[in-house]
Amino acid sequence: MNEPSEAKIRDLLKKSLHSPDPELQRDLWPQMLRRLDEQSSVKIIPWLDWALLTVPVISILAFPHSILVFMYCL
Amino acid sequence: MDAMNAITAEERSLVSPAEEGVLKRFAAGDIPAFEILFHQHQARVYAWIVRIVRDAGIAEDLTIETFWRIYRARKRFDPARGFGPWARRIATNVAIDGLKNLRPEESLSTEALPSIEVDSDLQRHIRKQTERAFRQLPARFQAVAIMALVDERPYEEISQALGISIGAVKTRVFRAVRLLRMKLKQLGVEP
């Protein structure tokens, strides 16, 4: 590897990139809790969606003509 | 041996019996145990991520994302191996994903740039073009360049954080430097 060239790039990057404060300014646990709550409610919805979807699918399979009724409703 | 699987004696000694109990409870999905770990490690995870993405707001969001992924992956976690190195590896992946989501031309915060005595227009131009070229690099190259070149982290630490061999880290740094030099030349900067 070309060391002098790498050193130049290193210097250039150090001068050019913003140096962030590595200290965390606040406790992130409340946000984390919100995220956990959101995800647990998201987990429940798909089951309900699947249950609701099952009814028309079974109806269509059992009574193919019922698709006309569903299409009319849509 | 996979670098990430190599647990040192020092790391093993860091896992006290009390901590091991918390880790086992966490692995079983216990939220209070997760909260203990979150408070123990959030500052370190944030500090690691903010060094890679260089933006406090984005780093906070990515810290949350990291702990969310940690929580989701809790069943795969081995309590005997320690939480810190595992969290750091996940944080690195999350930070790289965060960099991918930034548009190349999107400039991160330019506050608190290192002070330079004589900040001529030319120097400002060079710094701006360097940042621009850097943000055009693939995310995995940006991450490795920051860790190896800007923060000057040891290659071993980088290899553990990325889950790749030290040789692969060196190759990635070499490619990042070569690509950055090429992009700088295209932008009229000769490093």
The larger pLDDT score, comparing residue B65 to residue B21, is at B65
CB contact under 8 A, A27 and B42: yes
CA distances to B40, B46, B106, B131, B145 from B56, in Å: 19, 9, 15, 17, 19
State the complex-level ipTM. Answer: 0.73
Q: CB B114 to CB A5 under 8 A? A: no
Binary contact (A13, B130; C-beta < 8 A): yes
User: For residue A40, what pLDDT is reported?
Assistant: 72
Q: Give start-end residues of each CATH 1.10.10.10 domain in chain B.
A: 116-191
Q: How far apart are CA B128 and CA B143, in angstroms?
A: 19
Q: Which fold, B1-102? A: Rna Polymerase Sigma Factor; Chain: A (1.10.1740)
Sequence spans of domains, chain A:
29-74
Q: How confident is the model at residue A47 (pLDDT cuts 50, 70, 90)?
A: confident
Average model confidence (pLDDT) across chain B: 84
The tokens describing B181, both together, are: 């030099």
- Give the whole-angstrom CA distance, residue B15 versus residue B160: 18
In this predicted model, which residue has the larger pLDDT, A39 or B60?
B60
With an 8 Å Cβ cutoff, are A10 and B149 in contact?
yes
Q: Å from A44 to nearest chain B CA? A: 16
A9, A21, A31: residue with CB nearest B181: A9
CA distance B7 to chain A (A): 26
Percent of chain A whose predicted confidence (pLDDT) is above 90? 26
H or E element in which residue B3 lies: none
Is residue A48 pLDDT above 80, yes or no? no
For B56-89, the pLDDT digits (tens) are 999 999 999 999 999 999 988 887 777 899 999 9
Q: Are B177 and A28 inside 8 Å of each other by CB?
A: no
> pLDDT per residue over B153-176, tens digit each?
999 999 999 999 999 999 999 999
What own/partner pairs with CB < 8 Å and gap ≥ 24 does A60-68 have? none
Q: How far apart are CA B153 and CA A10, in angstroms?
A: 13
Question: How far is the C-alpha of B185 from the C-alpha of B165, rounded, in Å?
Answer: 30
Does the domain made of B116-191 have the CATH classification 1.10.10.10?
yes
> In angstroms, what CA-CA distances link B128 with B102, B107, B184?
17, 9, 11
Residue B75 tokens read as 């069943």
Residue B126: what pLDDT?
87
B176 token code pair? 């990042």
Measure the CA–CA gap between B162 and B146, rounded to whole angstroms. Answer: 13
CA B127 – CA A17 distance, rounded (Å): 8
Answer whether B106's CB lies under 8 Å from B180's CB. no
Q: How far apart are CA B52 and CA B85, in angstroms?
A: 16
Q: In this predicted model, what pLDDT tens digit does every residue of B32-64 receive, in sequence order?
A: 999 999 999 999 999 999 999 999 999 999 999
pLDDT of residue B9: 45
Looking at chain B, the whole-number percentage of residues with pLDDT higher than 90 is 60
> A39: nearest CA in chain B?
B68
A3 touches chain B (CB under 8 A): no
Considering chain B, tell me which residue range(s) the CATH 1.10.1740.10 domain(s) occupy.
1-102
